Chains A and B, each alone.
Chain A
Amino acid sequence: MSPSVPLQEMIRAIRSARTQCEERGVIQRECAAIRAQFRQTDNGGRSHNLAKLLYVHMLGYPAHFGQMECVRMIASPRYSEKRVGYLGAMMLLDEKQDASLLITNSIKNDLSHSNQYVQSLALCTLACMGSAEMCRDLAPEIDRLLRSSNSYIKKKAALCAVHIVRKVHELGELFVPSARSLLSEKNHGVLHGAVVLITELCERSPETLERFRKAVPDLVQIMKGLVISGYSPDHDVAGVSDPFLQVRILRLLRILGRNNEAASDAMNDLLAQVATNTDSTKTVGNAVLYETVLSVLDIKSESGLRVLAVNILGRFLLNNDRNIRYIAMTSLQKIVSTDHNAVQRHRGTIVDCLKDQDASVKRRALELSLALVSASNIRSMMKELLIFLSSCPPELRAHAASGIFNAAERYAPSKRWHIDTILHVLTTAGGDVRDETVPNLIQLITNTSELHCYTVHKLYRALLTDISQQPLVQVACWCIGEYGDLLLKGECQETEAVQVTEDDVLDALEIVLQSHMSTPTTRGFALTATMKLSTRITDNVDRIRSIVSIYGSCIDVELQQRAVEYNALFKKYDHMRAAVLERMPVIQKNSLGQTNGELSEEPIKESQPGKVKQEEMALPQQPAGQVCDLLDLLGGSQEPLQPSSSVGGSASAQLTAAPASAGGDLLDLLGGFEPTPLVPAPTVTVYEKNGVTLTLICERQSESGLTVTLTASNSTDSDISSFTLQAAVPKSVQLQMRAPSRDSLPAHGGAKLTQLVVLNNPNKVNLKMRIRVSYTCQGSVVQDTVQVDSFPGL
């Protein structure tokens, strides 16, 4: 068995090990020796062995086998062994270990030891790792010690009591009387301990707080004594007498004066005195001033004192010492909501701190600046914040960006400013903005119709410079897709005109599509934008067609689906393309909230072609009889009329955002849709019978195409259900009936029913239409027919 090496030699040996491996070897040998030593009963070097083990533990190696040794050493009569034993207990044992219970008895004995240093060891250990049971067990003993005549013991007992109260709140009651009497002590250590204990008791129990309010005059007296007393070498720190005690008393006064007029009055003069007399050239004086300011701002102080406190903070802000500036901003942050104007006065200095080199100071300055933004200073503040954003450390970027967005939203002086600001943020910190920024920005843009041209020009230019910032690219793609026609027109009031050709635009979008920097979402945006442009440009539709078909075999499933559907739109449903890819309606804010923002628009477009395929297969056929009926009625007309298939039309009706489109989800989403403004067409009433009115509006869409909007309403007293319209037109005219907006008409014109009929008259024959109305009213089925021969507005 190797002889035990005294502590310092071992440390030397460990330190001289040149590699980690060597060190481990030395430590393993030592630990083995220590374990062997532990097994022996008694030798003079026991404390050395445990100390060695503690050193090894500090290096990070396991030392749990020393726990029992700690217990044994604590029970030893030798002070040296007790000392190391207790140290070991504080380092190796915590309340979760079983061994900690074993030392309870030793602690109890040592608390009543004749020697104060032994007592202090026990007190210290109890305060460090005493569990709740140990605390409950030994609390009366601690209380007894609080009343002893020995200051050394009293001060330790006081802080031990603090620990007990923190562990077992109910025991606080036990210590109240002794705590009160300790306030009359002269010894600073005891006094300090007493103040800490009282603070703890008051924070835990409102009744105790009430009782100790009576002690405010005493505390004020003690503070006064400290502040105006002469130099005391024992407690002086750079001209301030016992700053530790002063700060604790100030904190206790804060707790006692909170929400209490009387107590706050009693301490008013004192606080003013401390605030004015304390030397603020050194950190220690500023520590006391800081605590004073916190107290003044928290209690019900009079306004003069409050102003004094805020001015002190203002002075702190101008201090060269970064620490002082940091805590000044922390404190100002706490009062920015209550004393907003006072803090506003220091806005200039705070904004300057944004440029400080230190990251901690920058963070505080950012928080405070965001809190100080108001309607009056928004322009100048935003300038500063944007400058900050371009040079701020990466960990603060996201916070800064979202703060700027909030401020812009609340106080934007004009829409254009708002859009400019958001674009600026996206270009500088686009990677750090939150996801909902993109839909929010798009919503903002659609709402600002007068700036569409300006916005799309700006975004296009931004897209050309940099496509790495995903949110920016997404918004830019969306806008180009939507307002591409404005971009191509070239002229724009708000910004210089730039000639943009269709090829340029398509090039830009293709670059985004192919770039490896673009996320799948961004690619989706770009593809849809390209598709939308097919109706807004004239020359390069083929190019778009080819782009779209390429992506039909893309690996990314989302893109592939879109491409396939858009392809279908080109091939089979070309006639619907214009309607499908119309301008989007203005997005209402509340509908965004319901339907997950921008993303919902995309799926609608995608599901539409999909639905077409489904609907076609599920077409319920009109009973042939009814159709023939219609034809029979016509009998001797020159041109046989073509029966309509309102059901056939209903499938396609799901697609568009036309006013008479299918109800339900689509209408909810596109809530505030207004049909594109046309020359108001005359409304003709074509049928009016039994309270049912049918009106017709005819609008020419193109050379041979026109739409007829039928509107039905019910002015009777009873509801009408199963309301359907059928239409027949001359043979050469193509007819499509869109799905009606509803199939029932509530009484008293509660709601109107609209149905759109799309006609194509390539041969330009004389247009006639026969409409059959059928509905159920009061249980009976009614059918009627009307012929329309003239269409005003044609």
Chain B
Amino acid sequence: MRFLLLFSRQGKLRLQKWFVPTSEREKKKVIRDMIMLVLPRQPRTCNFLQWKDLKIVYKRYASLYFCAGLEEHDNELLALEVLHRYVELLDKYFGNVCELDIIFNFEKAYFILDEFLMGGEVLETSKFAVNVSMEQADTLQESFKVSYH
């Protein structure tokens, strides 16, 4: 996986994760292109697109589009499962996640993503393990805070 983007139906970016080094200009261009490619798509059309040399997989969950850029040898159907798993993890963590949760707690969304994917590959395949790690890390964060205040 080269990148993972989350953007709203109005085209506002909510999360961006780049798994290969990309310049700021490149990033902006890719984001613009993805938004232009994905937003006009009709519902119930194919979730796969071809863009330059990448396969683009996208899925809409409520008001958010999850969009991933895959390389030639990546499995598109599995990528759909990856996106779905990420949504499940967010849902478990935030409890019935909605777009606002991701806006106001964006750093948590990143932390969860970092427990699930790394370097563009799946890191942990178990649903529970990711949430357990997140809880423990959060506890650690709180305990540190307490001890210094």
Sorted nearest first, the 9 A-B pairs with minimum C-beta distance are A287-B77, A360-B46, A159-B118, A322-B46, A287-B78, A79-B144, A127-B119, A358-B45, A189-B124
When distances are taken between beta carbons in the complex, the residues of chain B under 8 Å from A527 are none
Closest to B22 in A: A94
The residues in B between 10 and 64 inclusive whose CB is less than 8 angstroms from any CB of A are 13-16, 19, 21-23, 28, 42, 44-50
User: How near does chain B come to A134, taking the closest CB pair, in angstroms?
Assistant: 12
The residues in A between 143 and 169 inclusive whose CB is less than 8 angstroms from any CB of B are 152, 155-156, 159-160, 162-163, 166
**In the complex, are the beta carbons of A188 and B125 less than 8 A apart?**
yes
**In the complex, are the beta carbons of A128 and B119 less than 8 A apart?**
yes
Knowing A11-B104, A245-B125, A247-B75, say if A78 contacts B81 (CB, 8 Å): no
**In the complex, are the beta carbons of A124 and B118 less than 8 A apart?**
yes
**In the complex, are the beta carbons of B125 and A235 less than 8 A apart?**
yes
Contact with B along A158-182 (1 / 0, CB 8 A): 0110110010000000000000000
Q: Count the B residues whose beta carbon is within 8 Å of the partner chain — how many?
A: 53
A87 to B15, CA, bound (A): 12
CB within 8 A of B21: which of A7, A96, A327?
A96
When distances are taken between beta carbons in the complex, the residues of chain A under 8 Å from B118 are 123-124, 127-128, 156, 159-160
A386 in the interface (beta carbon within 8 A)? no
Knowing A78-B148, A95-B21, A159-B119, say if A361 contacts B46 (CB, 8 Å): yes
**In the complex, are the beta carbons of A189 and B133 less than 8 A apart?**
no
CB within 8 A of A87: which of B22, B73, B110, B140?
B110
User: How near does chain A come to B3, taking the closest CB pair, in angstroms?
Assistant: 12
A105 in the interface (beta carbon within 8 A)? no
**In the complex, are the beta carbons of B81 and A44 less than 8 A apart?**
no
When distances are taken between beta carbons in the complex, the residues of chain A under 8 Å from B126 are 188-189, 234-235
A84 to B141, CA, bound (A): 11
A155 to B129, CA, bound (A): 12
**In the complex, are the beta carbons of A79 and B140 less than 8 A apart?**
yes
User: How near does chain B come to A82, taking the closest CB pair, in angstroms?
Assistant: 9
A162 to B122, CA, bound (A): 12
A115 in the interface (beta carbon within 8 A)? yes
| Partner-contacting stretch, out of A236-244, A404-412, A699-707 | A236-244
**In the complex, are the beta carbons of A155 and B123 less than 8 A apart?**
yes
**In the complex, are the beta carbons of B125 and A55 less than 8 A apart?**
no
When distances are taken between beta carbons in the complex, the residues of chain B under 8 Å from A322 are 44-46
A127 to B126, CA, bound (A): 21
A498 to B143, CA, bound (A): 95
When distances are taken between beta carbons in the complex, the residues of chain B under 8 Å from A127 are 118-119
Interface centre among B22, B50, B123, by most chain A C-beta atoms within 10 angstroms, is B123
**In the complex, are the beta carbons of A44 and B148 less than 8 A apart?**
yes
User: How near does chain A come to B70, taking the closest CB pair, in angstroms?
Assistant: 12
When distances are taken between beta carbons in the complex, the residues of chain B under 8 Å from A94 are 21-23
A363 in the interface (beta carbon within 8 A)? yes
Interface centre among B15, B110, B128, by most chain A C-beta atoms within 10 angstroms, is B110
Contact with A along B104-117 (1 / 0, CB 8 A): 10110011001000
Q: Count the A residues whose beta carbon is within 8 Å of the partner chain — how many?
A: 67
A188 to B16, CA, bound (A): 27
A438 in the interface (beta carbon within 8 A)? no
**In the complex, are the beta carbons of B122 and A290 less than 8 A apart?**
no
Contact with B along A736-747 (1 / 0, CB 8 A): 000000000000
**In the complex, are the beta carbons of A58 and B106 less than 8 A apart?**
yes
A87 to B133, CA, bound (A): 17
When distances are taken between beta carbons in the complex, the residues of chain A under 8 Å from B149 are 44
Knowing A160-B119, A247-B78, A286-B77, say if A80 contacts B129 (CB, 8 Å): no
CB within 8 A of A79: which of B14, B44, B141?
B141
When distances are taken between beta carbons in the complex, the residues of chain B under 8 Å from A55 are 106
**In the complex, are the beta carbons of B128 and A234 less than 8 A apart?**
yes
A357 in the interface (beta carbon within 8 A)? yes
Knowing A79-B144, A80-B145, A234-B126, say if A287 contacts B81 (CB, 8 Å): yes
**In the complex, are the beta carbons of B21 and A129 less than 8 A apart?**
yes
B9 in the interface (beta carbon within 8 A)? no
Known: A192-B123, A251-B75, A360-B50. 14 other contacts (CB 8 A): A8-B104, A54-B107, A55-B106, A58-B106, A80-B145, A95-B21, A117-B136, A160-B118, A162-B119, A162-B121, A189-B126, A244-B122, A287-B78, A290-B77
**In the complex, are the beta carbons of A323 and B77 less than 8 A apart?**
yes
A83 in the interface (beta carbon within 8 A)? yes
B98 in the interface (beta carbon within 8 A)? no
Knowing A79-B141, A87-B107, A155-B123, say if A58 contacts B128 (CB, 8 Å): no
When distances are taken between beta carbons in the complex, the residues of chain B under 8 Å from A51 are 107
Contact with B along A79-119 (1 / 0, CB 8 A): 11001100100000011100000000000000000010100
A193 in the interface (beta carbon within 8 A)? yes
A610 to B136, CA, bound (A): 91
B97 in the interface (beta carbon within 8 A)? no
**In the complex, are the beta carbons of A244 and B78 less than 8 A apart?**
yes
When distances are taken between beta carbons in the complex, the residues of chain A under 8 Å from B111 are 83, 87
Closest to A327 in B: B76
Closest to B107 in A: A51
A59 to B103, CA, bound (A): 11
A381 to B133, CA, bound (A): 57
A723 in the interface (beta carbon within 8 A)? no
Closest to A55 in B: B106
**In the complex, are the beta carbons of B21 and A357 less than 8 A apart?**
no
Contact with B along A341-371 (1 / 0, CB 8 A): 0000000000000000111110100000000
A358 to B44, CA, bound (A): 9
User: How near does chain A come to B30, taking the closest CB pair, in angstroms?
Assistant: 13
A129 to B120, CA, bound (A): 12
A141 to B140, CA, bound (A): 24
A283 in the interface (beta carbon within 8 A)? yes
A237 to B50, CA, bound (A): 27
CB within 8 A of A80: which of B21, B103, B141?
B141
